[in-house]
Chain A
Amino acid sequence: MTVARPAPPRSIHLWRHTPWTWMAPDAAVVESLHVNVHPPSPSCLADGGGVHLHAAGKDRFSTMVHAHEYTRPDVEDVARATLDDAVEGGHQLDLHGDLAEVIHVDLVANGEAVAGRLHVRCTGHATLHLHLSGDASWCGLHLTGDVTDGAHLAVAVTDELGKHARFLRCDDWNIGRDARLISGTLSTGGFRRKSDLRHHLNATGGDVRIGIGVHGRGERHDDHHVEIHHHLGHTTSSLVANTACGDASRSIGTGRLVIAPGADGSDAGQVFRNLLLSESARADAIPELEVLADDVAAAHGAASAAIDEGQVHYLMCRGLDRASAEDLVVEGFLAAAFSELNHDRLVGVLRDRLIVHLDCAQEW
């Protein structure tokens, strides 16, 4: 059961552009919140060599997840607190060893309002694809993870939620010594979406690379808030968020890059690029830096522009109609956010989903 919480005022930066009242689940209909976590395909498991998945204690989670002794991140945030109230327990995915194949996990959100929590613990090298689908009108997902010392984890998050769905996503990732998290998100579904993604580089040598591609259509509202905290020195991070907004859609990209006192040798960068495809679309970018150490390299950039008519003309000259030409430009623009992740398997997954999404765009 959810507990009614006072809505944070819009003067609080996090909720300025997407008020909590838009995202809060309706307590009257949230009687039972759940997310079905489907196991990876058997072939994937077989090739995974060393994937260690526990029985869940529930039939439908028989191969890969189990109830997790969940520790809530020490964050005072209404979204996390609400998800914490809504979900009892949660599920953990342990990734050990060197996994050659991509592990696909389907998260199915069916029902009036559903929520779930997934904790990923990676101690080896793995590539994970989380795909969210379903007909829920409200969906909440709390994704937490530990990438332990020396581990490398690449995570792709994609979705095909219905066009009337509201989606609230909170991430809390901890990256250990010499560990690397590569995170790619393709945001295409839902009507209103708020993502609050936080990453903590807790030890020297930690590296996080984040790529986000957002496609806005109709009156879709997409708000991505990304935090990267460099708690110790000689850590690196990069964030690239490319947003293409069409119709009357709106996107907000907020980056908060914090370099703690003494975190010398940190190297951090974030870039927000917005491509506006229609007169009514709107895109906001707020890349923030808070630097409390001096021997660092920290930079951010933001750019916004209309679709390049020269590129569209070039493609139309080669036989494409205007819509296809624009789609191709959008595809290239969004894929560019992922190509900078320098991870072929992850980029392949995200690009495949992007192509499927654009091919289905006519049905929107």
Chain B
Amino acid sequence: MGDEARQAVGEYQFGFHDPEHATIRFDKGLSEQVVRDISALKNEPEWMTELRVKAYHHFMERPMPEWGNAAMLKQIDFDAVTYFLRSSDKTERNWDDVPDDIKHTFERLGIPEAEQKWLGGVTAQYESEAVYHSMREDLEAQGVIFLDMDSGLREHPDLVKRFFNTVVPYTDNKFSALNTAVWSGGSFLYVPKGVHVEMPVQAYFRINAKNMGQFERTLIVADEGASVHYVEGCTAPTYSEESLHSAVVELIALEGSRIRYSTIQNWSASVYNLVTKRGIAHANATVEWVDGNLGSKLTMKYPAVLLKGEGAHAEIISVAYAGEGQHQDAGSKVHHLAPNTTSNILSKSISKDGGRSTYRGMLQVLPKAHGCRSKVVCDALMLDPESRSDTYPTMEVGNASADLEHEASVSKVGGDQLFYLMSRGHTEAEAMGLIVNGFFEPFTKELPMEYATELNKLLDLHMEGSIG
């Protein structure tokens, strides 16, 4: 890594932690009372409380998944997790009103600067709840609703009730049940008919306390003919004790609309990142996931799209970087439920220093989905002999007219590529960094410029010491 990158990112750039000043902190452990207390604290409607309780019981009854990295999953001690921690009494709309220590954190993360430069709106979540929220006035005037999820439920209960839990029901998996039981924070974004939000809106999620569980819930609805780009970033300090991040994201793209959801998760290596992300695309709508996974101890995340309406389209681009002690079990799922739907999936992963990256994918075409087209490409790069790369794709084709392709490859950095770059004056480390950045280029070019620059610097940091 060059000096410039070192200056930009430091050791683990977001590994710092600030003193913890909680206004409310629940005892560790989960019970029905904890679930009811969270709901009561937020003064939620009864239907949400009941939904939480049902989800809690489902979570308790449902066994831990036996697939994926079952050994790592079994290490999670749910009784050692703090399920709710409030750091600020309210969500501020003026940056100056955010408590100093929290403001300090987000300033180090560059949130206010990014907001001024290129964002249509921003939400910053610290521990369990949003602490800062801002929205451009012109977008508000067009009827765009961008709130933290708690405020969304409070101010637009009917809209939330209509869509909440419809794409990812709590019965979907153990961790979606956990999230539904104890969710707090997250984003609620509604874009009215025909409105195009030109600038991305952003949410930033930060876990600061150790042994903390963050369970944000995000719901994005693009009404007919609307479009929006939502960007999400996540960090946490480095602790020896594990934290748990278990989010649920639901996207609903109504007829002719478009939602792009970009995320770079750079959790520290002590975080379990177990996330359920799924979108529904109605007729002629498009859902795009641009998904980067750099950090965490174990990530299990498979952004999915249900192509429900004729002519719907899904686009999923994901990258994963697995370093020492990390397992990035990521992938994508596309279900072609309607005729003439199309999808593209591109997955890239790098394994280094004994890290393990796994692509786990599902491509399904139902019998009535005529004329579907899909292409899946998975590329994996192995940077040393200790690392591991797995690919587990599944194609289920129930309609004869479907035209599907899947291809995957695993390789190391070519000696000829290194030689070519080194013969032009680069050191081996620089050459390796350039090759890795080039490998991820199809992903980075889909990100906003600032994110792409940041990602390249982070990769440089991760690549440090990869040679010799």
Contacts and interface: CB of A to CB of B under 8 A. Distances in A.
Contacts of A279: 367, 399-400
A288 interface: yes
Contacts of B384: 294
B391 A288 contact: yes
A301 B390 contact: no
Contacts of A261: 385-386
Nearest to A253: B395
A284 to B, nearest CB: 5
Nearest to B67: A11
Interface SS of chain B: strand
Contacts of B387: 292, 294
A291 B389 contact: yes
Contact of B402 (A287, A290, A298, A306): A306
A297 B382 CA distance: 11
Interface string B383-406: 111111111111111111111111
A141 interface: no
A289 B385 contact: no
Interface string A335-353: 0000000000000000000
Interface SS of chain A: strand
B382 A289 contact: no
Chain A contact patch, size range:
35 or more
A272 to B, nearest CB: 8
Contacts of A292: 387-388
A274 B404 CA distance: 9
B139 interface: no
A294 B412 CA distance: 6
B408 A304 contact: no
B66 interface: yes
B408 A291 contact: no
B383 A302 contact: no
A225 to B, nearest CB: 13
Nearest to B359: A289
A293 interface: yes
B382 A304 contact: no
A99 interface: no
B67 to A, nearest CB: 7
B33 interface: no
Nearest to A280: B367
Contacts of B398: 282
Contact of B396 (A264, A284, A288, A293): A284
Which 9 pairs from chain A and chain B are nearest by CB? A276-B400, A294-B382, A289-B391, A302-B406, A299-B409, A298-B410, A301-B407, A304-B404, A304-B397
30 contacts: A261-B386, A276-B399, A279-B367, A282-B367, A283-B397, A284-B396, A284-B397, A287-B391, A287-B393, A287-B408, A289-B390, A289-B410, A291-B390, A292-B388, A294-B382, A294-B412, A296-B382, A296-B410, A296-B412, A297-B410, A297-B411, A299-B410, A300-B407, A301-B405, A301-B406, A301-B407, A301-B408, A302-B393, A302-B404, A303-B406
Interface of A: 11, 13, 261-262, 264, 272, 274, 276-307
